[in-house]
């Protein structure tokens, strides 16, 4: 059997190499291999110093997350690390890539750390719903102090080599030869007394530091437990000796390890890594050097800014010279803000302004573009007219994409002579900030065109999810379904502010009515009118939103909508409430009250049901893809794992029982078709993954 840990030595220096692709996660075999190596080293008097290094693309990226659902198998990582630290020979960790979680804790157990200039370290455990469990909460404060440890541990953020050197995490930074630098440091320290973090006293701390941080961290966590638990543990152990602190860390870690939140966050972690597994994965994407964008509104300029930030050249098309100039200025405005936020260097901004961004009123300027994204007004005829033009000017192999959020991409493709090279690229606003991208695949699209969309997504740093063609694709289709439920709820007796409060209690950043007020109520109004001819006449239709719009109350921009904004602080709008009351009377609905839980139960079941239909129709490839969309595009709390994960946790029988109970009540319209089968399939896929 090959072991993932090897030991070699020459001239008194031993090199331990961990080789466990892809990311050198510390599996049971790695832990055992390290423990065995330590035993050999301790017993070999010819070895005077040790370098701990990793093969492949990175230092150890953490514990093996796939082992978390199973009972822990010895030896435990914290014991292995204690064994390394206790050696009476100096150990240097040679870090390249990312030393994360248990990987960084392993490095903290070593006596010295050398980082390659391009390396990062971090304790991302809280992002997985847990806390560091192999001494990170005890060794890091003893190394860099409490304040910096609170920051790193409760945020999970990564620290680069330069910052690590400044904080005192790295003893040296290697510009080139990492092992050479590690060896040099080891030789300098070979006769020095061995520094062990566990020997140091606890970091001195003023209690008010914790009180101040707690409020801030709890607010930011929005219902997620792990960052707060991590802070509480740091506070509780701040004055404990090392062994006591380690024991407390182990207890808190064990309590969180298989908690619901940890399961949900692990699910999303793996789901985000599965989205790239698409049927077109083997197709060759077209190399995209220049990007064309048609339409210089909010979406178009956001997409242009996103591409410029990623180092691409962009040609932005508007209808006339003045609009083109306006669009150019808006795009540059977004980038200026990026410079202010430290996301773009001034020199890069200058290069963009000097030539990398070209704005024009002539489609002919798109002749060289490899990919053109249309981001014009959301109207089929308008988009089809643009695609006819694009088809004439773009080179034959160029991929044409539409940023539509609802329209039929196939019907747009059909007006071109190259329907096999037309896809949807649905960005979320603001496009240079939001991570989600739906790559919409109409039936005729060739694999190369789809692969090109995914390659662009990667280049822009987006989370790209494959979606089939339907009204709203994955995300907006689910949004429509739960918005409808929210309308049923207010007609049945809940106040819009109660529904919004329930959303926020659940962990969403904003309620559904506040959100509509912010976006402008006319958007949904136009969409409902467009869909009216195809609406099932049996479907329950709530007119409240239309009636509010008819009064000219189009939301925040009009000063009124579901809320009234005239006094600065939004308050429930009297007229909206009167319309709701009148509609209840007109329909003979006896108003009832709803608890926050009842409200979210309905909303969640609406999401799950629509998600099941989306799977049933093959619009999404996997139920995890739906969760990735909801978490990254719609503010669904990451620590709940997404609606489909919640369905899985509830159990099929329970989900069905609850949906059927609501469906029997005739205030509810839907077809639970396919739900059982699809959820069963999804469950089987999860089980296969093991």
Q: How many CB atoms lie within 10 A of CB 205?
A: 18
- Give the binding range for ligand T1G (CB under 6 A) out of 125-133, 297-305, 396-404, 679-687: 125-133
Runs of H (alpha helix) within 591-651? 596-616, 623-633, 643-650
Please identify, using beta-carbon distances, which residue of 61 and 186 lies nearer to ligand T1G: 61
Closest CA to 121 of 104, 134, 141, 142: 104
Catalytic site residue from 85, 105, 374, 498: 105
- Tokens of residue 406, six digits: 């609802």
Please identify, using beta-carbon distances, which residue of 278 and 352 lies nearer to ligand T1G: 278
Q: Is 105 a catalytic residue?
A: yes
Please identify, using beta-carbon distances, which residue of 33 and 136 lies nearer to ligand T1G: 136
Min dist. Cβ of residue 379 to ligand T1G (A): 39
643: left (phi over 0), alpha (psi -120 to 50) or beta: alpha
DSSP 8-state class, residue 343: S
Asked if 252 is part of the footprint of ligand T1G (rule: CB under 6 A), the reply reads no
Residues 6+ apart with CB under 8 A from 434: 427, 428, 632, 633
Min dist. Cβ of residue 551 to ligand T1G (A): 50
DSSP 8-state class, residue 638: G
Residues 170-229 that bind ligand T1G (CB under 6 A): none
Min dist. Cβ of residue 58 to ligand T1G (A): 6
Most distant CA pair in the chain: distance in Å?
Answer: 92
Closest CA to 217 of 266, 262, 157: 157
Count, residues near ligand T1G per rule CB under 6 A: 26
- Give the binding range for ligand T1G (CB under 6 A) out of 128-136, 169-177, 398-406, 659-667: 128-136
Min dist. Cβ of residue 248 to ligand T1G (A): 14
Min dist. Cβ of residue 416 to ligand T1G (A): 35
* ω into 316 cis (within 30 of 0): no
Q: Are 144 and 169 in contact (CB under 8 A)?
A: yes
Please identify, using beta-carbon distances, which residue of 132 and 472 lies nearer to ligand T1G: 132
Min dist. Cβ of residue 670 to ligand T1G (A): 35
Sheet containing strand 120-122, strands side by side: 98-100, 120-122, 158-160
Q: What are phi and psi of 148, to 5 degrees?
A: -65, -30
Residues 83-122 that bind ligand T1G (CB under 6 A): 98, 100-102, 105
Element (H, E) at 476: helix 475-492
Interatomic CA distance for residues 529 and 521, integer angstroms:
13
For ligand T1G, the binding residue among 134, 357, 441, 494 (CB under 6 A) is 134
Asked if 62 is part of the footprint of ligand T1G (rule: CB under 6 A), the reply reads yes
For ligand T1G, the binding residue among 23, 41, 87, 400 (CB under 6 A) is 23
Interatomic CA distance for residues 467 and 443, integer angstroms:
11
For ligand T1G, the binding residue among 15, 35, 42, 65 (CB under 6 A) is 65
For the four alpha carbons of 487, 493, 495 and 499, in that order, the dihedral sign comes to negative
Asked if 624 is part of the footprint of ligand T1G (rule: CB under 6 A), the reply reads no
Min dist. Cβ of residue 135 to ligand T1G (A): 8
Interatomic CA distance for residues 242 and 229, integer angstroms:
19
DSSP 8-state class, residue 314: E
Asked if 128 is part of the footprint of ligand T1G (rule: CB under 6 A), the reply reads yes
**What would the x/- binding string for ligand T1G be over residues 261 to 300, using CB under 6 A?**
---------x--x---------------------------
* ω into 272 cis (within 30 of 0): no
Please identify, using beta-carbon distances, which residue of 23 and 119 lies nearer to ligand T1G: 23
- Tokens of residue 26, six digits: 């510390």
Please identify, using beta-carbon distances, which residue of 157 and 657 lies nearer to ligand T1G: 157
Q: Is 125 a catalytic residue?
A: yes
Please identify, using beta-carbon distances, which residue of 57 and 529 lies nearer to ligand T1G: 57
Catalytic site residue from 67, 85, 125, 438: 125
Asked if 61 is part of the footprint of ligand T1G (rule: CB under 6 A), the reply reads yes
Interatomic CA distance for residues 205 and 246, integer angstroms:
18
Q: Which residues bind ligand T1G (CB under 6 A)?
A: 22-23, 25, 58, 61-66, 77, 98, 100-102, 105, 124-125, 128, 130, 132-134, 136, 270, 273
Catalytic residue numbers, as ranges = 105, 125
């Amino acid at each position: 059997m090959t072991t993932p840990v090897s030991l070699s030595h020459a001239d008194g220096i031993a090199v331990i190499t961990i080789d466990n692709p892809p990311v050198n996660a510390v599996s049971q075999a790695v832990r055992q291999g390290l423990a065995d190596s330590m035993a050999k080293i301790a017993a070999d008097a010819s070895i005077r110093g040790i370098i701990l290094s990793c093969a492949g693309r990175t230092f150890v990226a953490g514990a093996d997350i796939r082992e978390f659902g199973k009972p822990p198998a010895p030896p435990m990582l914290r014991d292995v690390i204690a064994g390394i630290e206790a050696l009476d020979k100096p150990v240097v960790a040679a870090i390249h890539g990312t030393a994360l979680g248990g990987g960084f804790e392993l490095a903290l157990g070593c006596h010295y750390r050398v980082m390659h200039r391009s390396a990062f370290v971090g304790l991302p455990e809280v992002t997985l719903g847990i806390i560091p469990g192999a001494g990170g909460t005890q060794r890091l404060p003893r190394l860099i102090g409490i304040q910096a440890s609170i920051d790193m541990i409760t945020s999970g953020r990564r620290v680069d080599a330069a910052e690590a050197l400044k904080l005192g995490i790295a003893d040296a930074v290697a510009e080139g030869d990492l092992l050479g630098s590690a060896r040099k440091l080891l030789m300098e320290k070979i006769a020095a007394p061995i520094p062990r973090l566990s020997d140091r006293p606890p970091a001195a701390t003023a209690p008010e530091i914790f009180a101040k941080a707690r409020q801030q961290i709890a607010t930011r966590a929005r219902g997620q437990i792990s960052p707060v638990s991590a802070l509480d543990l740091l506070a509780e152990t701040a004055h404990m000796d090392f062994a006591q602190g380690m024991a407390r860390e182990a207890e808190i870690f064990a309590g969180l390890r298989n908690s619901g939140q940890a399961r949900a966050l692990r699910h999303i972690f793996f789901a985000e890594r599965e989205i790239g597994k698409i049927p077109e994965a083997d197709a060759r994407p077209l190399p995209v050097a220049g990007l064309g964008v048609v339409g210089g509104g909010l979406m178009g300029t956001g997409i242009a800014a996103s591409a410029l930030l990623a180092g691409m050249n962009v040609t932005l098309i508007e209808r006339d010279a003045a609009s083109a100039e306006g669009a150019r200025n808006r795009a540059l405005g977004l980038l200026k803000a990026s410079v202010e936020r430290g996301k773009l260097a001034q020199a890069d901004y200058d290069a963009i302004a000097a030539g990398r961004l070209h704005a024009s009123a002539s489609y002919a300027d798109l002749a060289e573009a490899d990919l053109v994204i249309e981001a014009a007004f959301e109207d089929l005829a308008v988009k089809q007219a643009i695609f006819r033009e694009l088809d004439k000017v773009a080179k034959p192999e160029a991929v044409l994409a539409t940023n539509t959020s609802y329209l039929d991409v196939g019907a747009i493709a059909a007006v071109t002579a190259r329907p096999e090279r037309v896809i949807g690229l649905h960005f979320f606003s603001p496009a240079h900030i939001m991570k989600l991208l739906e790559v919409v695949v109409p039936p005729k699209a060739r694999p190369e065109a789809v692969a090109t969309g995914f390659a662009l997504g990667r280049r822009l740093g987006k989370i790209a999810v494959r979606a089939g063609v339907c009204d709203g694709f994955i995300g907006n289709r689910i949004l429509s379904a739960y918005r409808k439920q929210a309308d049923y709820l207010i007609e049945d007796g809940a106040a819009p502010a109660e529904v919004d409060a329930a959303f926020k209690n659940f962990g969403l950043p904003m309620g559904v009515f506040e959100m509509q007020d912010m976006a402008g109520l006319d958007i949904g109004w136009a969409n409902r009118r467009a869909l009216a001819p195809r609406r099932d006449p049996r479907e329950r239709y709530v007119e409240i939103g239309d009636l509010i719009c008819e009064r000219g109350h189009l939301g925040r921009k009009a000063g009124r909508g579901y809320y009234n904004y005239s006094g600065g602080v939004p308050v429930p709008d009297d007229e909206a409430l009167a319309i709701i009351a009148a509609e209840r009377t007109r329909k003979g609905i006896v108003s009832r009250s709803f608890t926050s839980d009842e409200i979210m139960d309905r909303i969640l079941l609406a999401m799950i049901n629509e998600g099941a239909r989306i799977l049933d129709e093959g619009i999404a490839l996997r139920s995890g893809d739906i969760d990735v969309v909801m978490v990254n595009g719609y503010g669904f709390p990451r620590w709940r794992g997404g609606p489909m994960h919640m369905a899985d946790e509830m159990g099929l029988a329970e989900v069905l029982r609850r949906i059927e109970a609501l469906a029997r009540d005739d205030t509810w319209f839907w077809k639970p078709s396919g739900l059982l089968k699809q959820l069963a399939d999804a469950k089987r896929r999860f089980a296969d993954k093991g």
